[in-house]
């Protein structure tokens, strides 16, 4: 009869041990999940900052491209080319004189 009463006590100890192990496993899982989310949020914020910087750079480059396209379209105009030649390389028309005034 002694064996019958000690058997449930051993069974309860085993059950408590299994429950502790189960809760320890669950705790470890939540800690791991939290740590992973913390790391991923850092990486995500870094990537968002990179994306914002690249968007700003893209906007600047698009504006430069528009300006260069406009400048290239103006190069087809002969009057504009003559004006550029007069300003940059001091090209003169016959009978003109150029005077360079120091600043």
Q: Mapped to the 3 state alphabet, what secondary structure does 5-70 carry?
A: HHHHHHHHHHHHHHHHHHHHHHHHHHHHHHHHHHHHHHHHHHHHHHHHHHHHHHHHHHHHHHHHHH
Kindly report, residue by residue over 8-66, the tens digit of the pLDDT: 677 888 899 999 999 999 999 999 999 999 999 999 999 999 999 999 999 999 999 99
pLDDT at 4 over 70: no
- Taking CA atoms, 39 is separated from 42, 43, 44, 45, 88, in Å, by 5, 6, 9, 10, 57
- Predicted local distance difference test score (pLDDT) of residue 1: 45
């Amino acid at each position: 009869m002694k064996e019958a009463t000690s058997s449930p006590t051993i069974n309860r100890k085993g059950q408590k041990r299994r429950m502790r192990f189960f809760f320890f496993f669950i705790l470890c899982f939540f800690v791991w999940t939290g740590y992973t989310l913390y790391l991923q949020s850092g990486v995500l914020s870094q990537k968002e900052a990179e994306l914002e910087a690249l968007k700003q750079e893209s906007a600047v480059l698009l504006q430069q491209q528009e300006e260069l396209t406009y400048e290239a379209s103006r190069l087809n105009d002969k009057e504009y080319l003559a004006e550029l030649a007069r300003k940059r390389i001091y090209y003169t028309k016959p009978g003109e004189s150029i005077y360079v005034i120091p600043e």
